[in-house]
A and B are shown apart, each in its own frame.
Chain A
Amino acid sequence: MKTIHSKNKLRLAPYNLALILGAILIVTSCDLDETQEVTTLNNLVMSDEFDVDGAPDSNMWGYDVGDGTNEGIPGWGNNELQYYTDRPENVTVENGVLIITAKEESFEGKGYTSARLTSQDLFEQQYGRFEARIRVPFGKGYWPAFWLLGVPKTITVDHEEVLEEWPAIGEIDIMEYLGDEPTNVFGTLHGPGFSGAESISKEFTLENDRFDTGFHVFGIEWSPTSVNFYVDGNIYQTLTREDVAEETDGEGEWVFDRPFYIILNVAIGGNLPGNPTENTVFPQSMIVDYVRVYN
């Protein structure tokens, strides 16, 4: 699970700059003819366009309910303040969009409710292009995310068969956003040797625009050798096996050769975003126009 984030650790090794500059040049040069080198995989294998009103498609989405206590990580490992539910007031599909709403209310001992959708056991895929079009809320304490977790493998520890745990399973954060920085999002890889505060991450900043006033497309293109992170057709971070090795002095392990599943959630408060203030507006929603996966 997403654990012990630390913002000051968001960083990019200088040698990646060249790659990114390269990517930017490609994008720029392609602006006119609409063929985007940003994405190369265009065979749609899954899409949820959220066209049917009501609860999200149960063939695609399940829910993590609670405050993480049942999973052994109260506050979901980050001292988060919300209790996740599957109630329609926290998650619903309406007018062609998925709406995940965070509310300020006393519920099961917590001060906020929200929702966390997961495609675990329903949709899992290794490699490909994962993309969603999303509008996020604003204000201190909001921490919406579109991210992937690896499917745990069964391993043997002390002659007992157990499931792998985070960070051995790997985590790819396609989009994370903090409500008090409405022009920034960040993309991150976590794995053994580079998890939590030591994760490998980079920020993308919108110029003259914000993420809470309109929809933006967030995606990764993930191959056996690298993960490209993009926003609205701009690659802002490319991480390769070699990057992970160099970032971690060879300690980090590339664990991104297994199926991953999708998570969409809105967390409130905790270590990374800080807690809401009296000026934070509740309720607010993360609105998802679509989720699409290509290979």
Chain B
Amino acid sequence: MIHNKSKYFQIIGLVLLSMIVTTSCEREVSDAAVLATFPTTADVFTDNPVGLTDEFFISFDPVEGANVNGFDTDESEAYEGFASIRIDVPSPNDPDGGFIGGIFRDRGEGRNLTGYDALTFWAKASTTGVLGEAGFGTDFDGDKFRTVAADLQLSTNWKKYVIPMPDPSKLTQERGMFVFSAGTQSTDGLGFVIWLDEIKFEKLGTIAQPRPAIQNGEDVVIQNFIGGTVNISGLSQTFNTAAQGDVTVNAALAYFEFQSSNETVATVSALGQVNVVGGGTATITASLGVNEAQGSLTIESLGNFTPAPTPTRNPNNVISIFSDAYQNVAVDYYNGFFTGDGQTTLGGEGPGGADLSVDGDGIINYTNLNFVGIGTFMDVPTIDATSMTHIHVDLNINEALNAGDNITLQILNDVGGNETSGSVTITAANLAANDWRGFDIPLANFTGLSNRSQLGLLFFISNSISNVYVDNIYYYIEQ
């Protein structure tokens, strides 16, 4: 211990020295160069909004279903003082919007929150329900330090909630003072009321044991190609709190620093975008402050990727489901995950359905294929392909191909209504392993598809092919 203590004193000495140096420097710096520091106001809402914009509550986009009418203050309920915030959570079929949520924004240029370690607030509800999301850092202007906890269980009594800051030192100028969203998933669609009070930033001193994670804490391995891009996801920070045990928040990319084990294979940007630049293997890891994040993303780069030929048909003659050459129609999903019906297929899960993005070209990679559906019948308009004559698809079998292997396309019209369907099977002779083959199939060949004015599902079905790249799925008019 004697050794340790003397080290201590050395460190203290250094610190003192650096303070002296810093102090003397500060005297020499001109006024103009002094960094602006922003207010450190702690309160966000007490009985009134504190230092927030005039509109106070800024809703999520009503176009996306946010209900702007359910937000108010309530002078008949308060945890402390005389007023609280009242949130009327709408039912999903409310014509004014099926959920409620939005932000409170600092009315100035932002606050310096580096002296705090948590956002805290008190909440209760008219019934035991769930507050879908609550946090800070969403300012509708980049949301750089978005920090939210999900699924906070509310009780009918006032209870304090703690949203730990992933790294307070980064929050030198934050405008996103509070964000929440709530729906009725926890109440079987029944509307209920949430009250919030005493929203503020605090230095609790009891937020400890940080355990950041990327990729949801898992060591994920994916295959990709030169030119491919992948985004790091599943970012979180977990703290132990005195009152609530472990609390995990979703933490924005900007809190993390990323590192590649081999920059000749893959580089990673400050915002977690991985670019595959060579063949080989590279592992992306991250840290948040001094803590290494659990989880990693390993890229096995298979080298150069040959994309499917770029479609050249006139867009006016095309209804595109999945292609970078055209404007795609809205789809419900590129994988319906009919797991209850025995579906094993993975893939179709990335942005816009693309599991891979190589040089900006998105590609679906279905794996463990038995069957998988692309849906256009639930929350999006069905496809009227009455005037179309063909369907096009490019397939690249990503495994050894055997004689007898085949893959079937099935198209369904008016799903769940006056349903009709037809299918066409593509055999091994027309497919290729590790190479693209394009198919232009007359819709007339889909025997049984007597009507195609409301196409709702396109299935890929195979009991012999497990792993396939898919690109450029579109209906067209043969000219």
Known: A208-B204, A209-B206. A140 touches B245 (CB 8 A): yes
B1 adjacent to A138 (CB under 8 Å): no
Known: A138-B209, A182-B206, A182-B208. A210 touches B242 (CB 8 A): yes
Closest to B3 in A: A96
B215 at the interface (CB under 8 A from A): no
C-alpha gap A209/B206 in the complex (Å): 5
Q: Which of B231-283 contact A (CB under 8 A)?
A: 240, 242, 245-246
Interchain Cβ contacts under 8 Å between A and B, 12 examples: A96-B4, A138-B208, A138-B209, A182-B206, A183-B242, A208-B203, A208-B204, A209-B205, A209-B206, A279-B245, A281-B209, A289-B1
B206 adjacent to A183 (CB under 8 Å): yes
B290 at the interface (CB under 8 A from A): no
B246 adjacent to A279 (CB under 8 Å): yes
B245 adjacent to A208 (CB under 8 Å): no
Report B-chain residues with C-beta under 8 Å of the C-beta of A279. Answer: 245-246
Q: Which of A99-137 contact B (CB under 8 A)?
A: none
Closest to B242 in A: A183
Report B-chain residues with C-beta under 8 Å of the C-beta of A139. Answer: 240
* Residue in A51, A180, A182, A208 whose CB lies within 8 Å of B2: A51
A residues within 8 Å of B by Cβ? 49-51, 95-97, 138-140, 180-183, 207-210, 212-213, 279, 281, 289-290
The minimal Cβ–Cβ distance linking A181 to chain B, given in whole angstroms, is: 8
Report B-chain residues with C-beta under 8 Å of the C-beta of A183. Answer: 206, 242
The minimal Cβ–Cβ distance linking A278 to chain B, given in whole angstroms, is: 11
The minimal Cβ–Cβ distance linking B200 to chain A, given in whole angstroms, is: 15
Report B-chain residues with C-beta under 8 Å of the C-beta of A138. Answer: 208-209, 240
A182 adjacent to B1 (CB under 8 Å): no
Closest to B238 in A: A279
Closest to A183 in B: B242
**Size class of B's contact patch?**
10 to 19
The minimal Cβ–Cβ distance linking B208 to chain A, given in whole angstroms, is: 5
Q: Which of B145-180 contact A (CB under 8 A)?
A: none
- B219-236 near A? 1/0 per residue, CB < 8 Å: 000000000000000000
Known: A140-B245, A180-B245. A210 touches B208 (CB 8 A): yes
A290 adjacent to B1 (CB under 8 Å): yes
The minimal Cβ–Cβ distance linking A259 to chain B, given in whole angstroms, is: 27
C-alpha gap A43/B4 in the complex (Å): 24
B209 adjacent to A212 (CB under 8 Å): yes
C-alpha gap A80/B245 in the complex (Å): 22
Q: Which of B186-230 contact A (CB under 8 A)?
A: 203-206, 208-209, 211
* Residue in A51, A207, A209, A210 whose CB lies within 8 Å of B1: A51
Report B-chain residues with C-beta under 8 Å of the C-beta of A97. Answer: 1
The minimal Cβ–Cβ distance linking A214 to chain B, given in whole angstroms, is: 10
A213 adjacent to B208 (CB under 8 Å): yes
B246 adjacent to A182 (CB under 8 Å): no
Report A-chain residues with C-beta under 8 Å of the C-beta of B3. Answer: 96
* Residue in B1, B203, B208, B242 whose CB lies within 8 Å of A49: B1
The minimal Cβ–Cβ distance linking A177 to chain B, given in whole angstroms, is: 13
Given pairs A208-B206, A213-B209, 15 additional interface contacts (CB within 8 A)? A49-B2, A50-B1, A97-B1, A138-B208, A138-B209, A181-B242, A182-B206, A182-B242, A183-B206, A183-B242, A207-B205, A209-B206, A210-B205, A210-B242, A289-B1
Report A-chain residues with C-beta under 8 Å of the C-beta of B246. Answer: 279
Report A-chain residues with C-beta under 8 Å of the C-beta of B245. Answer: 140, 180, 279
Q: Which of B111-129 contact A (CB under 8 A)?
A: none
Report A-chain residues with C-beta under 8 Å of the C-beta of B2. Answer: 49, 51, 96
Known: A138-B240, A182-B242. A210 touches B4 (CB 8 A): no
C-alpha gap A289/B4 in the complex (Å): 11
Report B-chain residues with C-beta under 8 Å of the C-beta of A281. Answer: 209, 211
Closest to A213 in B: B208
The minimal Cβ–Cβ distance linking A66 to chain B, given in whole angstroms, is: 31
Q: Which 4 A-B pairs have the closest CB atoms?
A: A208-B205, A96-B1, A183-B242, A213-B208
Q: Which residue among A50, A182, A207 has the maximum number of chain B CB atoms within 10 Å of its CB?
A: A182
B208 adjacent to A95 (CB under 8 Å): no
Report B-chain residues with C-beta under 8 Å of the C-beta of A182. Answer: 206, 208, 240, 242
C-alpha gap A235/B206 in the complex (Å): 22
C-alpha gap A207/B206 in the complex (Å): 8
C-alpha gap A180/B211 in the complex (Å): 16
The minimal Cβ–Cβ distance linking A49 to chain B, given in whole angstroms, is: 5
Closest to B4 in A: A96
The minimal Cβ–Cβ distance linking B162 to chain A, given in whole angstroms, is: 13
Closest to A95 in B: B4
C-alpha gap A12/B211 in the complex (Å): 37
Closest to B206 in A: A210
Report A-chain residues with C-beta under 8 Å of the C-beta of B206. Answer: 182-183, 208-210
C-alpha gap A97/B205 in the complex (Å): 25
The minimal Cβ–Cβ distance linking A56 to chain B, given in whole angstroms, is: 15
C-alpha gap A180/B3 in the complex (Å): 33
